[in-house]
Amino acid sequence: MSVKEIFDTMDYGTAPESAAEALRWLVDGGDRFGLFIGGKMTEPGAVFEAKNPATGEVLAHLTQATEADVDAAVAAARKAQSKWAKDSKARAKVLYALTRLVQKHARLFAVLETLDNGKPIRESRDIDVALVARHFYYHAGMAQLMDEELPGREALGVCGQIIPWNFPLLMLAWKVAPAIAMGNTVVLKPAEYTSLTALLFAQICQEAGVPKGVVNIVTGDGAVGEMIVTHPGVDKIAFTGSTTVGRRIREATAGSGKSLTLELGGKSPYIVFEDADIDSAVEGLVDAIFFNQGQVCCAGSRLLVQEGIAEDFHARLVARMANLRIGNPLDKSIDVGAIVDPVQLQRIESLVAKGGSEGTVHQPVKAPEGCFYPPTLVSGLESSSLLMQEEIFGPVLVSTTFRTPAEAVQVANNTRYGLAASVWTENVNLALDIAPKLVAGVVWINGSNMFDAAAGFGGVRESGFGREGGWEGLMAYTKPAGKASPVKPAKAHVKPDDVEVLGLDRTAKLYIGGKQARPDGGYSQAIYSPKGKLLGHSSIASRKDIRNAVEAAQGAKGWAKATAHNRAQVLYFVGENLSARADEFATRIRDLTGTTEAKAQAEVTESIDTLFTYAAWCDKLDGAAKPVPMRGVALAMNEPVGVIGAFCDDRPLAGLIEVIAPAIAMGNRVIAVASEAYPLAATDFYQVLDTSDVPAGVVNILTGLHGELAKTMAGHMDVEAVWSFSSAEISAVIEKESAGNLKRTWVNNGMARAYPARDWLAQATEVKTIWVPYGE
């Protein structure tokens, strides 16, 4: 194109980026790469091809790791871990060195990423690589501060990390940086399609002086990931990828004792109110859905636009789409690059062909031949339409309308996912009213795709659990220091030959929805003292009682909206009323367990202190304004998890209070299953609740067999988290059944330890990051 033609058409000229240096790097590696284990590259084994999705050209041959290779990588990581964990200041220096080397090799990383993945070079160069450097820089600081700011916490050990193909290098940084900063070592498997930048990263690990075995990289297909997930030498799994695979990982790790974080799929709403700056919202939407060809888990793929501006908005959007340039990803003037692989392209085409007929399909610009798909809008859909519910993972935007803010929230939350959301309005009051109501881990106001290492990122529901980035992200890579001890189960006292009956027969009922309730199954069990006295009967709950308790808890959602000050007052009141009956509860504990009067009194005192402690925490657990590098603020807000099912340990009263107090302090509702052996102290406690202004349904207390209730509790779709400190062997069951809706779990795996208050509070909250840019 001549200069005159450019001026006549006002069209972009081409601006191709040279791939020479990246191709030279591949040639220098012999176009055949081994694995990075124990600080060095292995000889290539059986190989598979790495291709450029834009051209189909074979870039290199990569090694398919074997089980022996994974064993070697885990062994190298284990060998290096204890020494690496000893000196946080030394770790900081290594992370700083990695940061500088990422910056020094920035263009090589960017070009190699685009060749391997198909994303536009502008995105690789200006977004991905810059964020990679930012993550290592930020976490170098975290390593420097760990001893002072995270006292009493230590590394988990060896971390298995499995990353996707949409952001190969950035996902590596999100996983590796916090893990090694906290003293862990890693075995990382990049995606089969996109492993080249991980291998370049292995090279800079050598140049930065990363000790041998701290970072290990094994390439291959999903079978390699499965080997890492199930390897007994791995202490933690971090996975980013599809919800389907995430569910399988949850099931595979159940009962293994492995820590697990999952960052999974999404179907994020992009909500445009009628007072929004329409042109800005259209431009933001282009970034939200066509960035990286829509192959983004948090892509704004569901457009919700208010009816009054819908026609105008769609017209402007289609006009803007018509000006998008799709083609050679190495051309710096290109907006939309190649789909990562023909398999993914076929999936996109199939979904649009299947569901597009429910609306109107707009494709104003054609895609070139090859692995490309045109920017697409499907308008006029219903909230229940196939394309409104299914994650497409391509440059396909689906659209519907709403009338009122309340309807916008309802439609936005009508999905099984909960990763991100965008809200566009010039009314800051409306924006800050809507944001907390959206079921999402991240909410962007008048923006999209804002990320930073200082701000936590992650989802809820079937978008996974755990956070990456910020202080909250470090919880996933640390644990309380010290060793846990095996749980010592308590056994109910058996019926003696001669039963001594004390006073009038008394059957303790269940406590559901603020009322005493008979067990649905109609069964009870006798509870005896160590000396054979019949203390009473406790109800045996069934799955229907769990159903009723969940229904009651879901009906008490107003508790989450109560102010922290009000929740604190209620907890203080509970503590006061328990204190007034301290002697009575101490006697009950002594009769149930046979312990001494002093120990029984100590347990009651501990329970009262726990209530007062979490009453104090109600209005003290601060959110944070994250120092992100932009004209704006990222607010990390603590929100309740929702309905928490909890299996108590065998302390008759303290085990019950320990799970109830932090849960309701943070605005959750709880279904507590009392100690199997000593349930009567828990059933006495509901009398305290009745006199303490606790709203009906906020606390529900069941008694019965933990082993029979665990599966139902963990599998219930309206329970958002399950905790277990039970002496029964139910951890594996809970984790496996939780895969149904990917609820959070916190289980003891047969080991007991004392957790600090911060750990309880972290388990009782979700961190929602709300991004609020400011300025004209």
Residue 440 neighbours by CB under 8 Å, 6+ apart: 268, 418, 419, 420, 421, 459, 460, 768
In angstroms, rounded to a whole number, what is the distance separating the alpha carbons of residues 22 and 29? 11
User: By C-alpha distance, which of 562, 748, 752, 728 is closest to 640?
Assistant: 562
Helix (H) or strand (E) holding 399: strand 396-402
Task: Kindly name the residue from 205, 297, 298, 648 that is annotated as catalytic.
Answer: 297
* Block residue for tokens 């984790």: 735
| 297 annotated active-site | yes
Beta strand pairing call for 510-512 and 515-517 = antiparallel
Query: 745-771: buried (b, 16+ CB within 10 Å) or exposed (e) per residue?
Result: bbbbebeeeeeebebbbbbbbbbbbbb
Instruction: Judge whether 475 and 178 are in contact, CB under 8 Å.
Output: no
Instruction: Judge whether 142 and 168 are in contact, CB under 8 Å.
Output: no
Neighbours of 148 (CB within 10 A): 8
Cα separations in angstroms, 697 against 515, 556, 711: 9, 5, 22
In angstroms, rounded to a whole number, what is the distance separating the alpha carbons of residues 340 and 248? 24
- What's at 395, amino acid-wise? P
Residue 616 neighbours by CB under 8 Å, 6+ apart: 568
Mapping DSSP onto H, E and C, the string for 107-169 reads HHHHHHHHHHHCCCHHHHHHHHHHHHHHHHHHHHHHHHHHHHHCCCEEECCEEEEECCCCCHH
DSSP state of 517: E
| 648 annotated active-site | no
Neighbours of 9 (CB within 10 A): 10
DSSP state of 31: T
DSSP for 434-459?
A: HGGGS--SEEEES------TTS-B--
Neighbours of 607 (CB within 10 A): 29
Cα torsion 636, 718, 673, 687 to 10°: value is 80
Task: Kindly name the residue from 17, 123, 263, 766 that is annotated as catalytic.
Answer: 263
Alpha carbon distance, N-terminus to C-terminus of the chain: 37
Q: 298 burial class (0-12, 13-18, 19+ CB within 10 angstroms)?
A: buried
Look up residue 263 and give its two tokens.
Answer: 């960052």
Q: At what angle do helices 597-617 and 564-580 cross, to 10 degrees?
A: 170
Residue 634 neighbours by CB under 8 Å, 6+ apart: 450, 452, 454, 455, 625, 626, 628, 769, 770, 771, 772
Instruction: Judge whether 626 and 634 are in contact, CB under 8 Å.
Output: yes
Residue 161 neighbours by CB under 8 Å, 6+ apart: 175, 176, 179, 186, 187, 188, 189, 237, 238, 239
DSSP for 228-240?
A: HHH-TT--EEEEE
Alpha helices in 298-403 (DSSP H): 307-322, 342-355, 386-389
Q: Which residues are catalytic?
A: 263, 297
